[in-house]
Amino acid sequence: MTPEDRTPPVPANAAGSGGPTTPEESTIVSAPAPPRADCIADSAGGLTFDLDAPGSGPDPSEPGHWTAALVLRRRGDDEAEEVRLPLAPDGEGRLRAVLPSTVALPEGRWDVYAAFADTEPRRLVPGLADLRSLVDRRPGPSTSPLAVRIPYATKHGNLSLRSWLRAPHAEAGDLHPDASGLTAHGRLHRVADPAAWLADAVVEARLRRAPGLVVTAPVTREKRADDAPAEEDGQDFSFTLDYARLAAEWRGGLDVWDLWLCPADGSEPARLARLLDDVVDKQQVFAYPGLPVDAEYAPAQAGPYYTTDNDLSVRIEERPPVAG
Amino acid sequence: MSAANGWGRMHISFLIHNAYGIGGTIRTTFNLASTLAEQHDVEVVSVFRHREEPVFSPGGKVRLRHLVDLRKGTPGYEGDDPEYERPAAVFPATEGRYKQYSALTDRRIAEHLRTLDSDVVVGTRPGLNVHIAQQARRGPVRVGQEHLTLSTHSQPLKLTLRTHYPRLDAVTTVTEADAATYRKLMRLPGVRVEAVPNSIPAPAVAPADGTGKWVVAAGRLAPAKRYDVLIRAFEKVVAERPDWKLRIYGAGAERAKLRALIDKRGLYNHVFLMGPANPLDPEWVKGSIGAVTSSLESFGMTIVEAMRCGLPVVSTDCPHGPGEIIDDGVDGLLVPVGKTDKIAAGLLKLINDDELRQRMGRAALASSARFDPAEVAGRYERLFGDLVARGSLRGSLHRTRGALLSSAFRTSDASRSALRRVRAA
Report DSSP letters for B354-403, one per residue: HHHHHHHHHHHHHHGGGGSHHHHHHHHHHHHHHHHHHHHHTHHHHHHHHH
End-to-end CA distance of chain A: 50
> Is B406 within a domain?
no
B83 contacts on A by Cβ (under 8 Å): 19
Contact B68 A135 (CB under 8 A): no
What does the pLDDT average to over B399-425?
Answer: 38
Regarding whether B385 and B352 lie in a shared domain, the answer is no
User: Please, are residues B95 and B159 in contact by the beta-carbon 8 Å criterion?
Assistant: no
3-class state of residue B63 by DSSP: strand
Interface test with A, best of B48, B52, B245 (most A CBs within 10 A): B52
Regarding whether B286 and B239 lie in a shared domain, the answer is yes
d(CA A69, nearest CA chain B) in Å: 25
Domain limits at B62? 11-199+374-393
From the list A7, A15, A176, the residue facing B75 with the nearest CB is: A7
Say what the pLDDT of residue B421 is. 37
Q: pLDDT tens digit string along B40-66?
A: 999 999 999 999 999 888 888 999 999
d(CA A23, nearest CA chain B) in Å: 6
> Is B31 within a domain?
yes
Q: Which helix (H) or strand (E) holds B104?
A: helix B103-115
Amino acid occupying residue A124: L
Distance of alpha carbon B300 from alpha carbon B82, whole angstroms: 40
Residue A223 has pLDDT above 50, yes or no: yes
Q: Which helix (H) or strand (E) holds B234?
A: helix B227-240
- DSSP 8-state assignment for residue B167: G
Report DSSP letters for B238-306, one per residue: HHH-TT-EEEEE---TTHHHHHHHHHHTT-TTTEEEEE--SS-HHHHTT-SEEEE--S-BSS-HHHHHH
**Last residue in a domain, options B340, B371, B402:** B371
Interface test with A, best of B244, B268, B283, B351 (most A CBs within 10 A): B268
User: How many residues are present in chain A?
Assistant: 324
Query: Looking at chain A, which residue has its C-alpha nearest residue B52?
Result: A1
Query: Looking at chain A, which residue has its C-alpha nearest residue B82?
Result: A16
Say what the pLDDT of residue B75 is. 93
Query: Looking at chain B, which residue has its C-alpha nearest residue A15?
Result: B81
Q: Which residues in chain A (279-318) have CB-CB distances under 8 A to chain B?
A: 279, 284-289
Given CB atoms, is B73 within the 8 Å cutoff of chain A? no
Instruction: Choose between B411 and B164: higher pLDDT.
Output: B164
What is the pTM for the complete model shown? 0.85
For A41, half-sphere exposure in the C-beta direction (CA atoms, 13 angstrom radius) is: 27
Question: A300 burial class (0-12, 13-18, 19+ CB within 10 angstroms)?
Answer: buried
Size of interface A-B (CB pairs under 8 A): 91
Regarding whether B28 and B177 lie in a shared domain, the answer is yes
Given CB atoms, is A16 within the 8 Å cutoff of chain B? yes
Distance of alpha carbon A258 from alpha carbon A268, whole angstroms: 16
> Is B419 within a domain?
no
Distance of alpha carbon B383 from alpha carbon B387, whole angstroms: 6
Say what the pLDDT of residue B244 is. 98
Tell me the domain boundaries of chain A: 36-166, 169-318
Regarding whether B179 and B34 lie in a shared domain, the answer is yes
Q: pLDDT tens digit string along A251-260?
A: 999 999 999 9
Mean pLDDT score of chain A, rounded to an integer? 86
B57 contacts on A by Cβ (under 8 Å): none
Distance of alpha carbon B27 from alpha carbon B278, whole angstroms: 11
Report DSSP letters for A223-289, one per residue: PPPTTS-GGGTT-EEEEEEEHHHHHTT--SS-EEEEEEEE-TT----EEEE--SSS-S-HHHHS---
What does the pLDDT average to over A108-128?
Answer: 91
Interface test with B, best of A5, A10, A24 (most B CBs within 10 A): A24
Q: Are strands A214-221 and A202-207 parallel, antiparallel or unpaired?
A: antiparallel
**Best CA proximity match to A34, nearest among A147, A140, A159, A139:** A159
pLDDT band for position A45 (cuts 50, 70, 90)? confident
Residue B97 has pLDDT above 60, yes or no: yes
Residue A63 has pLDDT above 60, yes or no: no
Residue B417 has pLDDT above 70, yes or no: no
Regarding whether B248 and B290 lie in a shared domain, the answer is yes
Q: Are strands B120-123 and B141-145 parallel, antiparallel or unpaired?
A: parallel
Query: Looking at chain B, which residue has its C-alpha nearest residue A131?
Result: B282
Report DSSP letters for A115-145, one per residue: E-TTSPPEE-EEEEEE-GGGTT--PPS-SSP
Contacts of the segment B190-193: beta carbons below 8 A, 24+ positions apart: B190/B166, B191/B165, B191/B166, B192/B383, B192/B386, B192/B387
Regarding whether B161 and B128 lie in a shared domain, the answer is yes
User: Please, are residues A52 and A28 in contact by the beta-carbon 8 Å criterion?
Assistant: no
Given CB atoms, is B257 within the 8 Å cutoff of chain A? no
Contact A1 B74 (CB under 8 A): yes
Distance of alpha carbon B1 from alpha carbon A208, whole angstroms: 64
**Is the backbone of residue A252 left (phi > 0), alpha (psi -120 to 50) or beta?**
left
- Quickly count: other Cβ atoms within 10 Å of residue B227's Cβ: 29
Regarding whether B228 and B188 lie in a shared domain, the answer is no
d(CA B369, nearest CA chain A) in Å: 21
Estimate the share of chain B in helix, then strand, then coil, as percent rounded to the nearest 5: 45, 15, 35
B249-288 in b/e form (b: 16+ CB < 10 A) is bbeeebbeebbebbbeeebbbbbbbbeebebbbbbbbbbb
B82 contacts on A by Cβ (under 8 Å): 15-16
For A74, half-sphere exposure in the C-beta direction (CA atoms, 13 angstrom radius) is: 16
Regarding whether B242 and B159 lie in a shared domain, the answer is no
d(CA B69, nearest CA chain A) in Å: 8
CA B82 to chain centre: 32
Contact B69 A129 (CB under 8 A): no
d(CA B82, nearest CA chain A) in Å: 6
A324 contacts on B by Cβ (under 8 Å): none
Say what the pLDDT of residue B98 is. 97
> Is B415 within a domain?
no
Distances (CA, A) of B355 to B306, B314, B363: 19, 16, 12
CATH number at residue B127: 3.40.50.2000
From A30-34, B197-201, B355-359, B377-381, the region with the lowest mean pLDDT: A30-34
Question: A158 burial class (0-12, 13-18, 19+ CB within 10 angstroms)?
Answer: middle
B67 contacts on A by Cβ (under 8 Å): 23-24
What does the pLDDT average to over B97-116?
Answer: 97
Regarding whether B165 and B56 lie in a shared domain, the answer is yes
d(CA B325, nearest CA chain A) in Å: 26
Contact A23 B108 (CB under 8 A): yes
> Is B83 within a domain?
yes
Q: Which residues in chain B (74-113) have CB-CB distances under 8 A to chain A?
A: 74-76, 78, 80-83, 104, 108, 111-112
Number of domains chain B is built from: 2
Distance of alpha carbon B260 from alpha carbon B48, whole angstroms: 37
Distances (CA, A) of B172 to A42, B129, B144, B182, B197: 44, 11, 6, 10, 9
Query: Looking at chain A, which residue has its C-alpha nearest residue B75?
Result: A9
**Best CA proximity match to B288, nearest among B374, B385, B355, B341:** B355
Amino acid occupying residue B343: I
Contact B52 A1 (CB under 8 A): yes
Say what the pLDDT of residue A62 is. 52
B104-127 in b/e form (b: 16+ CB < 10 A) is bbbbbbeebbeebebbbbbbbbbb
Say what the pLDDT of residue A116 is. 85
Say what the pLDDT of residue A230 is. 79
Contact B269 A175 (CB under 8 A): yes
Contact B212 A132 (CB under 8 A): yes
Query: A38 - beta bridge partners?
Result: A50
Query: Looking at chain A, which residue has its C-alpha nearest residue B68?
Result: A23
Contact B259 A136 (CB under 8 A): no
- Write the CATH number of the domain with boundaries A36-166: 2.60.40.10
Contact A131 B286 (CB under 8 A): yes
From the list A10, A130, A285, the residue facing B205 with the nearest CB is: A130
Regarding whether B237 and B178 lie in a shared domain, the answer is no
Distance of alpha carbon B379 from alpha carbon B374, whole angstroms: 9
Contact A23 B204 (CB under 8 A): no
- DSSP 8-state assignment for residue A10: P
- State the angle between helix axes of B227-240 and B255-264 in degrees (0 to 180), rounded to the nearest 10: 20
pLDDT band for position A32 (cuts 50, 70, 90)? low
Question: B200 burial class (0-12, 13-18, 19+ CB within 10 angstroms)?
Answer: buried
d(CA A265, nearest CA chain B) in Å: 32
Distance of alpha carbon B29 from alpha carbon B19, whole angstroms: 9
What does the pLDDT average to over B364-390?
Answer: 95
Question: A287 burial class (0-12, 13-18, 19+ CB within 10 angstroms)?
Answer: middle
A8 contacts on B by Cβ (under 8 Å): 75
Say what the pLDDT of residue A25 is. 34
User: Please, are residues A189 and A197 in contact by the beta-carbon 8 Å criterion?
Assistant: no
Amino acid occupying residue A117: A
Q: pLDDT tens digit string along B253-312?
A: 999 999 999 999 999 999 999 999 988 999 999 999 999 999 999 999 999 999 999 999
Q: Are strands A82-86 and A122-123 parallel, antiparallel or unpaired?
A: unpaired
Contacts of the segment B295-300: beta carbons below 8 A, 24+ positions apart: B295/B224, B295/B226, B295/B337, B295/B338, B296/B152, B296/B224, B296/B320, B297/B321, B297/B322, B298/B147, B298/B148, B298/B149, B298/B152, B298/B174, B298/B175, B298/B178, B299/B24, B299/B147, B299/B174, B299/B175, B299/B197, B299/B198, B300/B324, B300/B325
Residue A26 has pLDDT above 50, yes or no: no
> Is B2 within a domain?
no
CA B18 to chain centre: 13
Regarding whether B167 and B259 lie in a shared domain, the answer is no
Question: B374 burial class (0-12, 13-18, 19+ CB within 10 angstroms)?
Answer: middle
